[in-house]
Structure 1
Amino acid sequence: MFDTMTLTKAVGALCGMFLIFLLGGWVAESLYHVGGHGDENQAYVIDTGEDEGADEAEAEAADEPPVEELLASADIGSGERTFNKCKACHKLGAGENGTGPTLHNIIDRPVDSIEGFNYSGALEQVADVWSYENLYHFLEDPKGWAPGTKMSFAGLPKPQDRANVIAYLESAAN
């Protein structure tokens, strides 16, 4: 009924099927990948328009008004509402650190200057003092402006929101 010849045929059929799958995988890999390990260009590249997006972002940055103009028209109340995003990590009281350092009197304060707070050192590489300009660009994209910073906030994409928050921080210090 079930002898060794039947068992041998079954094992041989399984091994043959496995070899056919391996051969099919090898053929498919050679058809769809040119370089194998990324050493060469793809066989077919789809244009996603990423270069155009970078050019548009640069054009938008060039169209932004200067920080001084934005600060002149800043709304402190709107800045206070936008600052609610920051409250999870930062406090405004003197000496009150949260996950992030206190933002009390941040304008014209030296970067990484709060005693007892463990900074990453990335900010010292790009700025010495928290000027309006430095704070404005940091709030736009913290990790982009100071690569290596511990701050995980995505940033404020709208220029007026950044100016409003800076105006609120300055008013809160007074």
Structure 2
Amino acid sequence: MTVTKIIGGFCGAFLIFLLGGWAAESLYHVGGGGHGEEHSEAYPIEVAESGDAGEVEEGPDFATVLAEADPADGEGVFRKCVACHSVAAGENKTGPHLAAVVGRDIASVDGFGYSGVLDGMEGDWTPEALSDFLENPKGFAPGTAMSFAGLKKVDDRADLIAYLQTLN
């Protein structure tokens, strides 16, 4: 008798599972007229076809965005950086100071121990290089010790760089 009760319990649970799946499918089905249906309850949305479907429209170049950037807004964006960086020359925190960073050689602050990947990089912190770094620090310099996730909005990066340029 116990085995029969266990099998009955499994069959009952399976039946409830099937009925629940059927009810959910009938309530939330968004398919396009399958299962022998002539009409779908969804409304068709007409989309204009373009000649070049694979071409992605890009925004303005970074120099144009930077020219229109607002340093006052950049000062607000800098609040995300203030925990690890200072704007006072010579005052390093977890990260190096950012006074006169625009145009400065990469990994050139005396007395700061850079991670190996940044220490080995050549070049200057141009606005474009800073934008690339701030967008995705780990993508720009894989292995960097900077744990910041990055600024995804180009306007935020441009405003921040415009603010940093005022510190030169």
- TM value normalised by structure 1: 0.62
The CA deviation string for residues 91-124 of structure 1, in whole angstroms up to 9 with x for no partner, is 0011010110000100110011011111112125
Equivalence map 1:32-111=2 (5 Å): 59=56, 63-111=58-106
In the alignment, does 2:154 pair up with 1:159? yes
| Counterpart in the other structure of 1:149 | 144
Task: Give me the whole-angstrom Cα distance separating, in 2, the residues matched to 1:72 and 1:108.
Answer: 16
Task: Give me the whole-angstrom Cα distance separating, in 2, the residues matched to 1:110 and 1:125.
Answer: 11
Task: Give me the whole-angstrom Cα distance separating, in 2, the residues matched to 1:124 and 1:68.
Answer: 27
Amino acid at match of 2:59: E
User: Unpaired runs of 5+ in structure 1?
Assistant: 1-58
Task: Give me the whole-angstrom Cα distance separating, in 2, the residues matched to 1:133 and 1:75.
Answer: 17
| Counterpart in the other structure of 2:132 | 137
- TM value normalised by structure 2: 0.64
Task: Give me the whole-angstrom Cα distance separating, in 2, the residues matched to 1:75 and 1:170.
Answer: 11
Query: RMSD of the alignment, in Å?
Result: 1.7
Answer whether contact 1:125 1:146 (CA < 8 A) is retained: no
User: Unpaired runs of 5+ in structure 2?
Assistant: 1-55
Closer, same or farther: CA 127–164 of 1 in aligned 2, 3 Å = farther
Identity of aligned residues (%): 50
Which is helix-richer, 1 or 2? Answer: 1
Task: Give me the whole-angstrom Cα distance separating, in 2, the residues matched to 1:127 and 1:159.
Answer: 24
Task: Give me the whole-angstrom Cα distance separating, in 1, the residues matched to 2:69 and 2:80.
Answer: 18
| Counterpart in the other structure of 1:123 | 118
